[in-house]
């Protein structure tokens, strides 16, 4: 094929459109996580959705690993805590100038309906939606 034909030929390929089930919100929320058989470690979540979190962890985790996690946020004038079991779905190293953290995406594997509702209400407040269920 001549060079000119290559230039004029349409280009084909794949486009990776992100298809998330739930919208994500940028946040900075304290968390505590526990690996099986270890003590609680403090850290933070940097975004949240109804399906999971993006978190910084102090230690490397394996994809598929489960963690007990507590998420802390304010709901009105109250401090709210959600306790959940999460599963690591991806991980990488995130380097900052003064620290080294492992960044991980986690999905909620086991969360009570009450805690899920608390999370949904918190996320609605971030998006500006009003909770229709209060009354």
> Which position has the higher pLDDT, 17 or 119?
119
Residue 78 CA: distances (Å) to CA of 9, 33, 36, 73, 122: 61, 22, 30, 8, 12
Are 94 and 103 in contact by the 8 Å Cβ rule? The answer is yes
If you count them, how many residues does the chain have?
Answer: 135
Q: How far is CA 50 from the centre of its chain?
A: 9
Tokens encoding 70: 């507590």
Boundaries of every domain in the chain:
20-124
Please, what CATH class does the domain formed by 20-124 belong to? Answer: mainly beta
Percent of the chain scoring above 70 in pLDDT:
74
Cα 24 to Cα 51: distance, rounded to the nearest angstrom: 9
pLDDT (0 to 100) of residue 98: 62
pLDDT (0 to 100) of residue 52: 96
Cα 103 to Cα 114: distance, rounded to the nearest angstrom: 27
The whole-model pTM stands at 0.75
Which whole number is the average pLDDT over 39-58?
93
> Which position has the higher pLDDT, 117 or 15?
117
Per residue, the 3-state secondary structure of 68-127, as one string, reads EEEEEEEECCEEEEEEEEEEEEEEEEEECCCCEEEEEEEEEEEECHHHHHHHHHHHHHHH
Q: How far is CA 88 from the centre of its chain?
A: 10
pLDDT tens-digit profile of 73-119? 987 788 999 999 999 999 986 665 665 678 999 999 999 999 999 99
> Which position has the higher pLDDT, 4 or 74?
74
| pLDDT band, very low/low/confident/very high, at 7 (cuts 50, 70, 90) | low
Are 55 and 90 in contact by the 8 Å Cβ rule? The answer is no
Least confident segment among 11-15, 20-24, 98-102, 112-116: 11-15
pLDDT (0 to 100) of residue 76: 76
| pLDDT band, very low/low/confident/very high, at 14 (cuts 50, 70, 90) | very low
Are 63 and 87 in contact by the 8 Å Cβ rule? The answer is no
């Amino acid at each position: 094929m001549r060079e000119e034909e290559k230039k004029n030929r349409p280009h084909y390929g794949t486009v990776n459109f992100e298809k998330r089930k739930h919208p994500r919100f940028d946040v900075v929320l304290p968390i505590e996580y526990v690996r099986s058989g270890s003590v609680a470690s403090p850290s933070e979540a940097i975004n949240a959705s109804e399906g999971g979190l993006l978190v910084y962890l102090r230690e490397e985790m394996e994809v598929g690993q489960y963690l007990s996690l507590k998420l802390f946020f304010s709901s009105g004038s109250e401090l709210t805590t959600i306790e959940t079991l999460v599963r690591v779905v991806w991980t990488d190293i995130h380097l900052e100038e003064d620290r080294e953290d492992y960044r991980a995406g986690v999905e909620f594997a086991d969360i009570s309906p009450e805690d899920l509702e608390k999370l949904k209400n918190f996320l609605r407040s971030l998006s500006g939606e009003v909770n229709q269920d209060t009354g």
